Amino acid sequence: MKNRTTSPRRHVLACAVSLTSLSCSLALAQEQEHGVRYAFSGYGTLAGAAHTGPSDMEFRSSLNQSIGAKSKLDLGVDSRIGVQGVADFGSGFSVTGQLLGQRLRIDKKSATGDEFDIGAEWLFAQYSPSRQLDFRVGRVVLPAFMVSDSRNVSYAQPWLRAPLEVYAVMPLTHLDGVQALWRIPIGASIFTIQPSYGQSEFNISALNLPLAAKAKKVSSLNLIFESGDWLFRYGQVKNTSNLEIPFADEPAPYKMKDMFTSIGAQFDNGSAVVMAEMAQRRQNDMPIDSPASYAGIPVDDAGTTWADVYAQQFSGQPLAKSRSWYVAGGWRFGTILPMLSVGAQKDQKTGVVTRNVNASVRYDLKTGVALKAQLGQYQRNDDVAFVTPVADDYRKIRVLTVGVDFVF
């Protein structure tokens, strides 16, 4: 791999590789005691977002958020802080732990405004019998995307926020279980195979409802081929979840079978950078009949019941069935990288297509610190980008985000 110490692609791949090898960003401190080597590092983003639309619209960066940015500056949508520690015992054995603080839905029943969470994003033991092979047990990153490893480390990415049309449709971010990583040299190229298996959970806001689920039997396969300036990736995540859909505090159980497939490619020759990903999500149909108690729960004074709502919105259809994509490109002018990305998501249940455009600028102020600005255009009916979308409203809302990324 070419040495490009000033290129954002170098940051992306260097961070991803370092995450794979149990370190990230810059070492804050390193100590050695009783033959054990300790390393500590961290990263963060301080960013504010606001949009030009009505004050009741709330822009979010993830389905895991049910509070978003309105027409006034909001510092919670993209801001986060993470710290990591690694204990290297030698002979290929090590332990990694990482705490991440960010805006995240906590209440599984309703929106309370209490949406800041500090949790373990990583906590795993690793054995590396060689430089090409790693085995992990514990909590690991779920590699669902091209930049999954460094997704929370915004400094390692060219933009401030990854394209939501692809990155926001999969709510699972980590996995409790086992993972292997096998790097196979092929001449000057590297082919990486990364299987994972375990369980996870999510707590999201979708369709104006809080949805909680424990994902069982989560299996993932991540394949990456790197050659020169090119990177190609294929990934698939399958899981079975016991999803609860609350109606007036009475849940409707749904055993959801979910499959998420994505492919991606990246080109970076030190000046030009081009990235593209496509994703498809498929779920099984929900039960046709709603619980009997729903017929006795009124929704409004017109006589509508929760059984009617269930029949109209959920009966016999999957909660999610979509296809999405984005293409992004930029050119480096020294320490400045402007980029433009376009993308779309199609709801294959309704045929509705939402389209997004984002322009971003990155300025590397100094090593470990990058200033960024991003201007995005989204449609009001986008149920990924907005907490409460407006159905059949294709008017545009512009979202401006400015921030600083740092590693230490």
pLDDT of residue 251: 64
φ, ψ at 14 (rounded to 5°): -65, -40
In this prediction, residues 60-81 reach a mean pLDDT of 92
Listed residue (15, 19, 23, 20) closest to 41, CA to CA: 23
Q: Where are the alpha helices (DSSP H) in 78-144?
A: none
- pLDDT per residue over 375-393, tens digit each? 999 999 998 899 889 988 9
- pLDDT tens, 332-353? 999 999 999 999 999 998 899 9
Q: What architecture (CATH level 2) is domain 8-284+318-407?
A: Beta Barrel (2.40)
**Beta strands 93-103 and 336-347, pairing class:** unpaired
15: pLDDT strictly greater than 90:
no
Residue that the structure tokens 């729960």 belong to:
297
Per-residue pLDDT at 137: 98
CA distance 87 to 32: 9
Residue 181 has pLDDT above 90, yes or no: yes
What pLDDT, on a 0 to 100 scale, did the predictor assign at position 26? Answer: 43
Average pLDDT value for residue range 291-310: 80
Beta strands in 34-115 (DSSP E): 36-51, 80-90, 93-103
SS3 state at 288: coil
Q: How far is CA 258 from CA 120, 169, 175, 261, 264, in A?
A: 24, 12, 15, 10, 20
Per-residue pLDDT tens for 229-251?
A: 999 999 999 998 877 666 556 66
322-327 mean pLDDT: 97
CA dist., res. 290 & res. 297, Å (int): 12
Please give the pLDDT value at position 151.
82
| pLDDT tier at 323, thresholds 50, 70, 90 | very high
Would you say residue 167 has pLDDT above 50?
A: yes
37 pLDDT above the threshold of 60 = yes
How much is the average pLDDT of 272-300? 87
Mean pLDDT of 279-287: 90
- Residue 5 near residue 14, CB atoms below 8 Å: no
CA 22 to chain centre: 20
Is 149 or 206 the better-scoring residue by pLDDT?
A: 149
